[in-house]
Amino acid sequence: MKKSSSRRHPMKRATRKVEFCPVTFGHEGKTFTGFLVDLSTEGAKLRSSEPAAAESIASHDEIEMDVKTPYGPSSCKARVLWKERLDDGMRWGLKFTELPEDHDDPIHCLIESAFC
């Protein structure tokens, strides 16, 4: 299913939680939609089928995200570590750069949830 990849990153051993959270994300004044998947305490993967997102977001860019978790909405920032073109869109590997300080925030609840 993969078409091309700019993935040149080491495999991480952090525990990831498979979750599909709708997300609105932005970079340089442009806004896109997608899904945040495979969350860990350090980052996540982001998927989008919007063609403009593939052209607008590159490795090392920082993006802002509004995430709809099962616990409620949350916002955070992340840096793009790698990107990969898929048959149905793009996938980016993200490292969180700014999470909410409140540990009761929905994104913290999701990351720490034992049910994912």
Rounded average pLDDT over 79-107? 95
Q: Are 26 and 68 in contact (CB under 8 A)?
A: no
Rounded average pLDDT over 63-88? 96
Write down the pLDDT at residue 112. Answer: 85
Average pLDDT of the chain to the nearest whole number: 86
Domains detected in the chain: 15-112 (2.40.10.220)
Kindly indicate the confidence band of residue 11, based on its pLDDT and cuts at 50, 70 and 90: very low
Write down the pLDDT at residue 115. Answer: 52
The type of residue at 22 is: P
Write down the pLDDT at residue 116. Answer: 45
Q: Which of 14-18, 33-37, 78-82 is the least confident region?
A: 14-18
Report which of 43, 21, 52 is spatially closest to residue 92, judged by C-alpha positions: 43
Non-local (6+) Cβ contacts of 33 within 8 A are 22, 23, 24, 25, 48, 50
Q: Are 96 and 12 in contact (CB under 8 A)?
A: no
What digits encode the pLDDT tens for the residues 45-67? 999 999 999 889 999 999 999 99
Kindly indicate the confidence band of residue 13, based on its pLDDT and cuts at 50, 70 and 90: very low
Write down the pLDDT at residue 87. Answer: 92
Q: Are 42 and 52 in contact (CB under 8 A)?
A: no
